[in-house]
């Protein structure tokens, strides 16, 4: 597992340093806050429901969760909000960020299963129960108020909003599972798998393409270095053609973020 975990740590630390160097210096506060919420949410979900388990071979763990993972999710969620924060309504920003993180989860979660880092009790695409892919998107949506609070509120208010976000994650995850996701468990036909990947990728790419500024390019850079190397893991593990196609389709938003011409040339510097 060290061969998997150590590169993840390198990717996470590099990504955190990229955001912490932002001029307004709010990057570190945002990252730490979201990582804490993500860790508490997953830790309590694992303890409460036992629906997924991590390998004992992870080197640095906090309770039942490898610590590199909430730090990775914090990086994904904060950069997603950087892209969507100019939406007309904060709820739209949270929903758009959730969709972007859904694409990230659809790549990372099957990869974790394929390398032996995680096991799910429910069946789904590539060994991941559908709630395992939707869950990080729920976390991304729930932390919206927390991120807004970090920009202007005292730490006590941030902590209260953080605990409220964890509660929201629990309620939303239970609701999503009982109202629909449990019926999607089981082997997925190749066509359905492909259609889901195309839908998630298309929505994410459209969101990224319409967002202006440097935040979009940071989004692309972070995912190129944070997700791109996972293709090597697929090759090493002899992934099936459908998993290759799934991962490649979901990587498209990262390429779109970097392919669109820079807005700096048009006078935008955000």
Residue 49 lies in a domain: yes
Residue listed under structure tokens 């099936």: 240
Residue 225 lies in a domain: yes
By residue range, what is the domain housing residue 37?
Answer: 2-263
Residue 268 lies in a domain: no
Supply the pLDDT for residue 269: 42
Residue 198 lies in a domain: yes
Supply the pLDDT for residue 270: 46
Q: What is the pLDDT of residues 164-175, one digit of tens each?
A: 999 999 999 999
Residue 58 lies in a domain: yes
Global pTM value? 0.89
Residue 53 lies in a domain: yes
The DSSP annotation for the chain comes to -HHHHHHHHHHHHHHHHHHHTSTT--HHHHHHHHHHHHHHHHHHHHHHH--EEE-TT-SSEETTEETHHHHHHHHHHHHHHHHHTTSSSHHHHHHHHHHHHHHHHHHHHHHHHHTTSEEESS--GGG--HHHHHHHHHHHHHTHHHHHHHTTS-HHHHHHHHHHHHHHHHHHHHHHHHHTGGGG-SPPPHHHHHHHHHHHHHHHHHHHHH--SHHHHHHHHHHHHHHTTHHHHHHHTT--HHHHHHHHHHTHHHHHHHHSPPGGGGT---
Number of domains forming the structure of the chain: 1
Block mean pLDDT (10 aa), the chain, length 270: 82 86 72 94 91 91 93 93 82 92 92 89 89 95 86 75 91 93 90 90 90 78 74 67 84 81 46
Residue 253 lies in a domain: yes
Supply the pLDDT for residue 266: 43
Contact at 8 Å (CB) between 130 and 136? no
Q: What is the pLDDT of residues 220-251, one digit of tens each?
A: 888 877 776 676 666 666 667 888 888 888 88
Residue 270 lies in a domain: no
Supply the pLDDT for residue 153: 66
């Amino acid at each position: 597992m060290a061969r998997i975990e150590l590169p993840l740590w390198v990717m996470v630390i590099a990504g955190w340093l990229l955001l912490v160097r932002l001029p307004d210096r709010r990057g570190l506060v945002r990252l730490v806050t979201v990582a804490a919420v993500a860790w508490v949410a997953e830790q309590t979900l694992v303890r409460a429901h036992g629906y997924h388990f991590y390998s004992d071979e992870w080197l640095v763990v906090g309770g039942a969760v490898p610590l590199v993972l909430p730090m990775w999710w914090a990086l994904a969620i904060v950069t997603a909000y950087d892209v969507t924060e100019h939406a007309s309504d904060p709820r739209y920003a949270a929903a758009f960020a959730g969709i972007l993180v859904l694409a990230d989860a659809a790549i990372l979660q099957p990869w974790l299963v394929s390398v032996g880092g995680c096991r799910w009790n429910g069946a789904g695409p590539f060994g991941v129960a559908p709630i395992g892919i939707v869950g990080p998107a729920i976390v991304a949506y729930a932390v919206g108020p927390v991120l807004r609070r970090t920009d202007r509120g005292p730490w006590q208010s941030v902590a209260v909003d953080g605990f409220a976000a964890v509660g929201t994650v629990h309620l939303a995850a239970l609701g999503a599972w009982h109202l629909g996701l449990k019926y999607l468990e089981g082997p997925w036909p190749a066509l359905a798998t492909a259609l889901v990947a195309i839908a998630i990728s298309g929505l994410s790419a459209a969101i990224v393409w319409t967002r202006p500024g440097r935040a979009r390019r940071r989004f692309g850079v972070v995912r190129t270095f944070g997700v791109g190397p996972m293709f090597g893991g697929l090759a090493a593990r002899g992934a099936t053609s459908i998993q290759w196609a799934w991962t490649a389709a979901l990587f498209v938003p990262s390429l779109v973020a970097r392919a669109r011409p820079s807005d700096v040339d048009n006078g935008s510097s955000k």
